[in-house]
Structure 1
Amino acid sequence: MTTERTYRLGVMLGDGIGPEIVPASVRVLDAALAAAGAGPVDWHELPLGASAIEEHGSAIPAATLAALTRLDGWLLGPHDSAAYPEPFRSQLNPSGAIRKHFDLYANIRPARGFEGGKAIAPDTDLVIARENTEGFYADRNTYAGTGEYMPTPDVAVCMGIFTRPAVERIARTAFELAMRRRRKLTIVHKANVLQLSSGLFKKVCLEVGQAYPEVAVDDFHIDAMTVHLLRRAADFDVLVAENMFGDILSDMTGELAGSLGIAPSINASDDRCMAQAAHGSAPGIAGKGLANPIAMILSSGMLLDWLGTRHGDERLTAAATRVEDGVRAAVRGGVGTRDLGGTASTAEFTDAVVAQITTRA
């Protein structure tokens, strides 16, 4: 069912190359929405990052968080929190603060090779569903603090947390993804050594899988999984993993598909979604027009797909398809930024994508 809903989306430019790649993504989304016959998005730019520290005294102002609550989703540019002055550098970074505030428990990271790109394994076409709130990432495991502490200067302790509700919901997300794709799901774990914690993750995923008999399920230890991906990435469809395993594997699969510069992702809950490229802010090339906007553009397209699926809006899912098709057509046609072996600037690559979307309308 197609609705006539007008979507309100937030835009946070972030730091480094963010002010270049995020507006590029907005341009592409507007073009794709128009080509799909969807109404224009109501965009809301909000302060975040180094500029927000200067103007508002916070990297993630309270007014920004309040405004995000009233929106359907948002685009988040990369941030350079390591360069923030204290005390902001030691605080939870803006992305982490937003994820925790809105309980964005699912980090979805696809990896698909580009024809005409620089993929190590060009036939890669998979998605990693990464649990985003606990696992071995200490900064996401506690209500207050980071879950990492030092009883003495020579002892460091880090908590790894696994709970049934958190595993159940990421498992359901992964199985629903598999149902929309090739109906294959792989559980990544280390239950042979971490029998209780990682063992619970594997057990609960298998239990959730009983409600999806159409999906073929297998599982691999994390160390073996890296080898299988290197040797036969094309055999895998959807992978579900705890936080740290999912982070490591998604960086690896991004490189297999081409580079982190083309690796998109979304962070989502049941009712909120944030588009965020998997890469960093690349301050060394900021402002030079050299940044590759592909990851941010594709992340933004994933946001459209998430919204379209959630609201039953075929216009948005069609627009999301146009975003990816336009990017791939541009790369296939030989247009690429320097990291892809091309000569196009950020703006020139964006122009090429918009042209592909417009001519295919």
Structure 2
Amino acid sequence: MTEPRYRLGVLDGDGIGPEIVPAAVAVVDAALAAVGAAPVEWVELPLGRSAIDSHGTPVPDETLSALAETDGWLLGPHDSVSYPEPHRSRLNPSGTIRKHFDLYANIRPAKSFERGNAIVEGTDLVIARENTEGFYADRNTVAGTGEFMPTPDVAIAHGIITRKATERIARTAFELAMRRRKQVTIVHKANVLQLTTGLFRQVCRDVAEEYPEVTVNDFHIDAMTVHLLRRADRFDVLVTENMFGDILSDLAGEIAGSLGIAPSINNSDTQAMAQASHGSAPDIAGQNLANPVAMMLSSAMLLDWLGSKRNDEKLVRAAQLMEAAVAAAIHGGTATRDLGGSASTTEFTAAVIHAMRDQA
């Protein structure tokens, strides 16, 4: 039997996580087998509400230590708003892991599928979101948060932009563009936030000089929302700061068809975490109704990232096969409710694996 070459962590999370994460694992296993790649070793780790019950915390130290020994991991959604105090008021599990491993890049594609309920057909873009600073108070300080109240009637949040963080997300964006259609759009609000997002725009422009083959333009965040709604199919790679990227990626996911098909990875230079862009959907948890596409495609992104880093063509091929099989399943008429179909989570997963055999 072939020995596993990679170790990947599995964190089911809350809500629909225990349904969509195993679905993604099954599709990864099938894809690796189809391309003749060695299987991965799956390392199941506690996280979320079940970890609070078993370990007294949503992110146990043993989970963080084990993740450090893996090549990457799949993170299911969390439902931190339902956690008991004091856990509800603390940094959520995803944020804890991102901060611990300095996963500075959040890469969120938005790609429509034929017969996939898209608002703008032909959408195929990627948002490169800076993940460690900006206006999100849980990410922009070394200790504590960048949000405080000097009096009960005044609340203040710091918005922090640095050259170092902007340079690395800009390079990530331009490297993505070089593998795609060689277009980068910088999204900012430099007409109002002149120093902070003005610095972001300028640093991105500086990095652009290293990539003369890439066409570069820029838009204010408010104008960008309109452009996406009207002509999302004309954009390739968008690079932006943290909060703008969060908002735009949810919008782009819906424009492409549904947040249920919106994947993402969070990565540093050495580690990556596959994480669907949507939430835990507790209202449908345990009913076999959840759309697993985003988790499947996030897992494909992880394989592609790892394959590119390790020069492993089989992993890249497995990722491509997963994407093609998901598209084929939807095109063939199998879809969950959010995409206008009636398939269950397990039925859709079976359809993807079946389509994979035809694609391989």
TM range (shorter): over 0.9
* 8 Å contact kept, 2:137–2:158: yes
Runs of 4+ in 1 over 6 A off after TM superposition: none
Give the Cα separation in 2 of the matches to 1:31 and 1:37: 10
* 8 Å contact kept, 2:4–2:41: no
Report the equivalent of 1:143. 142
Report the equivalent of 1:25. 24
* 8 Å contact kept, 2:45–2:63: yes
Report the equivalent of 2:223. 224
Matching of residues 1-361 of structure 1 within 5 Å: 6-361=5-360
| Alpha-carbon offset, residue 360 of structure 1 | 2.4
| Alpha-carbon offset, residue 359 of structure 1 | 2.7
CA RMSD of aligned residues (A): 0.9
- 1:315-357 alpha-carbon deviations (Å, 9 max, x no partner): 0000000010000000000001111111111000000000111
* 8 Å contact kept, 2:4–2:40: no
| Alpha-carbon offset, residue 36 of structure 1 | 1.2
Q: Normalization by structure 1: what TM-score?
A: 0.98
Give the Cα separation in 1 of the matches to 2:284 and 2:161: 39
Q: Report the AA paired with residue 73 of structure 2.
A: W
Give the Cα separation in 2 of the matches to 1:95 and 1:5: 27
Describe the SS at the equivalent of 1:140.
Answer: coil
Describe the SS at the equivalent of 1:118.
Answer: coil
Q: Normalization by structure 2: what TM-score?
A: 0.98
Give the Cα separation in 2 of the matches to 1:224 and 1:339: 28
* 8 Å contact kept, 2:324–2:359: no
Give the Cα separation in 2 of the matches to 1:5 and 1:236: 39
Describe the SS at the equivalent of 1:117.
Answer: coil
Give the Cα separation in 1 of the matches to 2:240 and 2:338: 29
Describe the SS at the equivalent of 2:211.
Answer: coil
Give the Cα separation in 2 of the matches to 1:33 and 1:291: 24
* 8 Å contact kept, 2:133–2:139: yes
Q: Report the AA paired with residue 219 of structure 1.
A: D
Describe the SS at the equivalent of 2:116.
Answer: coil
The 1:208/1:5 distance shift into structure 2, 3 A limit, reads farther
Describe the SS at the equivalent of 1:285.
Answer: coil
Q: Report the AA paired with residue 296 of structure 2.
A: I
Identical aligned residues as a percent:
72
| Alpha-carbon offset, residue 263 of structure 1 | 0.4
| Alpha-carbon offset, residue 5 of structure 1 | 7.8
Describe the SS at the equivalent of 2:198.
Answer: helix
Give the Cα separation in 1 of the matches to 2:197 and 2:230: 25
The 1:236/1:297 distance shift into structure 2, 3 A limit, reads same
Give ranges in structure 1 of 5+ residues lacking alignment. none
Q: Report the AA paired with residue 223 of structure 1.
A: D
Q: Report the AA paired with residue 329 of structure 1.
A: A
Aligned pairs, number: 358
